[in-house]
Amino acid sequence: TQLLEQSPQFLSIQEGENLTVYCNSSSVFSSLQWYRQEPGEGPVLLVTVVTGGEVKKLKRLTFQFGDARKDSSLHITAAQPGDTGLYLCAGARSSSNTGKLIFGQGTTLQVKP
């Protein structure tokens, strides 16, 4: 069973469209992070959210942490081909005191020009 469910797993859209990626769990997380990974590279941290209901913006990317700290979303406005990549959510569980991360399966995004 997957502790963090990401959806959709694959997304192919045209440049200029908006999209939302979801990360859901039945467990509570002390923090949740979003990463972007290029082929052949390691994950690069985009944002960390720690407070229930928190919203963070990074240019055209908007991240939200659910009120109960069990879910999160990533919204991209006016997607560009440069946004293409694998997006991963990862959480540190409240019950853990080690900082190890639980990762979702990832969302592969393709933005066509």
Partner 1 sequence: NAGVMQNPRHLVRRRGQEARLRCSPVKGHSHVYWYRQLPEEGLKFMVYLQKENIIDESGMPKERFSAEFPKEGPSILRIQQVVRGDSAAYFCASSPVWTVEMNTEAFFGQGTRLTVV
The residue behind tokens 């942490």 is 65
Under the criterion CB under 8 A, does residue 21 sit at the interface with partner 1?
A: no
**Residue of the chain from 59, 82, 97, 113 that contacts partner 1 (CB under 8 A):** 97
Under the criterion CB under 8 A, does residue 79 sit at the interface with partner 1?
A: no
Q: How far is the CB of 105 from partner 1 (least distance, A)?
A: 5
16 and 62 in contact (C-beta within 8 Å)?
A: no
18 and 83 in contact (C-beta within 8 Å)?
A: no
Say if strands 107-112 and 10-14 run parallel, antiparallel, or are unpaired: parallel
Q: How far is the CB of 78 from partner 1 (least distance, A)?
A: 27
Task: Rounding to the nearest 10 degrees, give the CA dihedral for residues 89, 28, 96, 4.
Answer: -30
Q: How far is the CB of 60 from partner 1 (least distance, A)?
A: 22
Under the criterion CB under 8 A, does residue 66 sit at the interface with partner 1?
A: no
How far is residue 108's CA from residue 103's CA, in Å, rounded to a whole number? 14
- The residues of the shown chain that bind partner 1, judged by CB under 8 A, are 4, 6, 30-31, 33, 35, 40-45, 48, 50, 88, 90, 92, 94, 97-106, 108
